[in-house]
Structure 1
Amino acid sequence: MIDLSLIKVFIIIYQTKNISHAAERLNLSQPSVTYNLNRLRKILNDPLFERDKFGVKPTKLAQDLYPDFYDAIVKIDLAIDAAKNFDPKTSNKTFRLGVSDLGEICLLPSLMQYLIAYAPNIKLEIEEIQCDKVEEWLVEGFIDVAVFNSTYTIMPKIESRNLFEEHYVCIANKNHARIQGDLTLAQYLGEKHIAIKSSTGHVEIDQKVKELGYHREVMLEVPHFSVLENIVKNTDLLVTLPSRAAKVYQHNTDVNIFKLPFEVQPFHVSVNWYKHRDDVEARKWFCRILKNIFSTL
C-alpha cells in the first residue's frame, strides 16, 4: 500500500514540473520532497520524473498514473472536508444503527420522520443487536451507534450515555379469557408466554422468576417484539416487555397493560459508540438526534 503523502507529493510535482516549486506549495524542504519522490520511485520501479531545462518532465508511467492519483486524492479530500463540515441537510451519509426490539418499535418511526424532514439524503441501515458482538461491531465500524439495554454487557472500549430509565410490564389480549383485572402471580405463572431471546439483552424477567423459585412456560421465543402484534391480538399468550413498547402495542391493537405481580429492577437504555477518528461531527449529531427523539417518547 502506498502512503497517501507520497501520492500528494507526486501530484504537486506533476502540476508544477519543478521540485523547488513543489516544495514551496507543500510547505516542505526540497530535500524532503526529493526523499519522498525517491521512495515512490522505488515502490513503482520507475523514475517518474526526468530533468529538463525548465525543471522536470513526467515519464510515460507518471502520465498514465496522474489522472487516477489525482481523482483519488480529490475524493479523499472531499470526504475529509465533508466529515469536518457535516451538514445533515445536504449530507448523503449512511448511518448503521444497532438497536434492540425496543428501539425498533419506539425509535424508528419517529427517527425516520425526523430524517425525512430535516436530513432527507441521509440513509439508515438497521442491525439487530447481539449483546455478545456489539462491542466488536462498534470497534470494527460494522455499526456506527448502538441503542439498547447494556446493563449486562461489559464494553470497556465503548463510550456510553444513558438515554432513559425503563421498566417491564405485561400485555395480554384485551379479550383474554382469564385475565381482566389486576394480574396476580398465580395467573402470571399459570399462563403461557412469549419470550424474547436473551441475546438481545432481555434477561431480567427469567432471572427474577427463577430467584422466586418459580418457572414460567414459554410457548414461543422470538428475536424481537416487533413481530408480535397479530399473535397477541389472536391468542391468550402473555408478553412481558418494556413499558414504552407496551404503549405502542396498546395504541395499535386491542391489548391491556398490567403491572407485573413481582418487583423487577428498572434498567437503563443507553446510546453507545466507539471513538473512531473519522466522521466525529456526524456521529455526534446522530447521537444527539437519538437522545432528543427518545426524550419525547
Structure 2
Amino acid sequence: MELGEIDLNLLLLFHRLMQERRVATVAEQMNMSQPGVSNALAKLRRRLGDPLFVRGPGGVVPTPFALRLAEPVAQALATLRGALNPVTGFDPLRATSTMTIGMTDIGEVVFLPALLERLSREAPGVALNTVRHSGVNLGEQMADGRVDLAIGLLPQLKGGFYQRRLFDQRYVCLFRRGHPLEEVPLTLASWREAEHLVVVSAGTGHGQVEESLKRRGVRRQVRLTVPHFMSVGYILQRTDLIATVPERRALQLAEPFSLSLRGLPMTLPAAPIHLLWHERVQQDEGNRWLRGVVIDLFADQVRQGRRAKVGEE
C-alpha cells in the first residue's frame, strides 16, 4: 500500500481509538459525530483489510493487527507533530550541532581563536567547520544550507542575503625589524623602490588593493606573489621584502615574527568586512545566536552597522 492511499486523519482517528477505546470519546475529541467516526473507521478497515477494533465490554478492543500497528503509527505522528511544532528557544549549552562558516585563511586567524574560546564556554556541543570563499560556490551553498554564515568582503553575495557590517579593514605596510625602511620616513618613492611580497587571494575582496594601485598608475617592484596570507610572516622575517597587509592580520604577525608595521604612504580604500547570511536562515534561532556571538566579538562598536538586506537601503 502506498502512503498516498491513506488519509492522515484516519491514522489520527486510529491513534485516538487505541488510546481511548471508546467511539463516543474519540468523536468528542475530534469534533465528529459518532456515525462519522464509525464511517471513518470503516474506510480505514477497507484500506487495511482488517477489522482493527471489535466491540468489547464498555468500548472497543483492538485486533492483533491493530496492536502491531499502534506503536509505528504513534511514532510517526509524534515525529510529524514535532517537525510541525518545533520547540522554540535555542539553548546553546544543550545544543549539539556543526555550523559552517565561509571565510578566508586570514579570516580563520583573525576570527576563529576568539570565536572558539566563546563557544567552549557558552556552547560546548557546537562544532565549527570552515570553507574557503574561493573553494566553493558560496552563494549556492548558503542558499541550500551547507554554509550557515560567511565573513569577509563578499560583494558577489547580493539578492537573497542579509548582511551586518563588522568593521572597516585598513591596510598597512609590514616588514622585518631592522629593515632599512624602519629608521626613515616611508615615502611613496621608498615604498615603490622596495621589493614587494604581494598576496593575490582569489575569491576575496583583498584584490581591491591591487585594483586601486593599478587605477592610480602606482608601480612597484614585485619580487614574490603568493595566493594566501599564511606564509607572509615567515617570508618577511627572513627577507627584505615588504607587504601590504590588512591591519588586524599585521598586528597578529608583528610580535611572533619580529615585524614592524607602518602606515602606507598613500590612501587606499578600507575593506568593509561583513557578516552575511541567507534569507532562509533569517529566523533560525541557532543561526541568530551564532550571528549575535560574531557581532558581539568583532563588530566595531564605534561604527554601528545596521542589519539590512543586501541591495536595500
TM-score strictly above 0.5? yes
Which segment is superposed worse, 13-22 or 158-167?
13-22
Q: Which residue of 1 aligns with 2:14?
A: 13
1:203 and 2:197 aligned: no
For residues 268 and 119 of structure 1, what CA distance do their matches in structure 2 show? 29
Q: Tell me how far apart the structure 2 counterparts of residues 220 and 41 of structure 1 sit (CA, whole Å).
A: 76
The total of aligned residue pairs comes to: 289
Is the CA contact 2:167–2:300 (under 8 Å) kept in the aligned structure 1?
no
For residues 124 and 239 of structure 2, the distance between their equivalents in structure 1, rounded to whole angstroms, comes to 40
> SS of the counterpart of 2:52?
strand
Does structure 1 residue 272 correspond to structure 2 residue 283?
Answer: no
| Residues 15 and 74, structure 2, Cα contact 8 Å, conserved in 1 | no
Q: Deviations over 1:61-82 (max 9, x none)?
A: 9836844871794498289645
1:146 to 147, 150, 162: 150
Q: Is the 8 A contact 1:135 1:157 kept in 2?
A: no
AA of the residue aligned to 2:15: Y
CA RMSD of aligned residues (A): 4.1
Match of 2:52 among 31, 39, 50: 50
Residues 100-249 of structure 1 mapped to structure 2, 5 A cutoff: 100-130=104-134, 133-150=137-154, 152-176=155-179, 180-190=183-193, 191-216=195-220, 217=222, 219-222=224-227, 224-249=228-253
Q: Using a 3 Å threshold, how does the CA distance of structure 1 residues 117 and 236 change in structure 2: closer, same or farther?
A: same
| Distance (Å, rounded) in 2 between the aligned partners of 1:215 and 1:24 | 85
Q: Secondary structure at the match of 2:255?
A: helix
Gaps of 5+ in 2: 302-313
Going from structure 1 to structure 2, the CA distance change for 1:76 and 1:140 (only over 3 Å counts) comes to farther
Identity %: 21
Mean Cα deviation higher: 8-17 or 107-116: 8-17
Deviation readout 1:238-281 (Å, 9 max, x if unpaired) = 32221111111113221111222222111211111113269712
Worse overlay, 265-274 or 52-61: 52-61
Q: Supply the distance in 2 between the matched residues of 1:180 and 1:49 (Cα, whole angstroms).
A: 96
In 2, are the aligned partners of 1:131 and 1:153 still within 8 Å (CA)?
no
Question: For structure 1, which runs of at least 5 residues remain unmatched after alignment?
Answer: none
Distance apart, 1:212 and its partner CA: 1.9
**What is the DSSP-based 3-state SS (H/G/I as helix, E as strand, rest coil) of the residue aligned with 1:141?**
coil
Residue deviations 1:148-182, cap 9 Å, x none?
Answer: 113x3241110111111221112112233565533
8 Å CA contact 1:204–1:264 kept in 2: the answer is no
**Contact 1:89/1:120 (8 A) holds in 2:** yes
Q: Give the Cα–Cα distance (whole angstroms) in 2 for the partners of residues 146 and 281 of structure 1.
A: 17
Residue 285 of structure 2 aligns to a residue in which SS?
helix
Question: What one-letter code is carried by the residue in structure 2 that aligns with 1:265?
Answer: P
Distance (whole Å) between structure 1 residues aligned to residue 294 and residue 85 of structure 2: 24
CA contact (8 A) 2:165 2:299 kept: no
Judged with a 3 Å threshold, the aligned counterparts in structure 2 of structure 1 residues 289 and 277 are, in CA distance, closer, same or farther, namely: closer
- In the alignment, the residues of structure 1 paired with residue 84 and residue 198 of structure 2 have an alpha-carbon distance, to the nearest angstrom, of 47
Q: 1:277 to 1:100 in 2, by over 3 A?
A: closer
CA offsets per residue over residues 178-222 of structure 1, 9 Å max, x none?
A: 655333333433313131323122121111121122444262322
Q: CA deviation at 1:108?
A: 0.8
Structure 1: which amino acid aligns with 2:68? Q
Give, as a single letter, the amino acid of the residue that structure 2 aligns with 1:246: A
The alignment partner of 1:240 has SS state of: strand
Alignment check: 8 A CA contact 2:166 2:272 kept: yes
Aligned-partner Cα distance in 1 for 2:82–2:282: 13
CA distance in 1, matches of 2:63, 2:179: 83
TM-score (normalizing by structure 2): 0.74
1:262–1:296 Cα change, 3 Å: closer
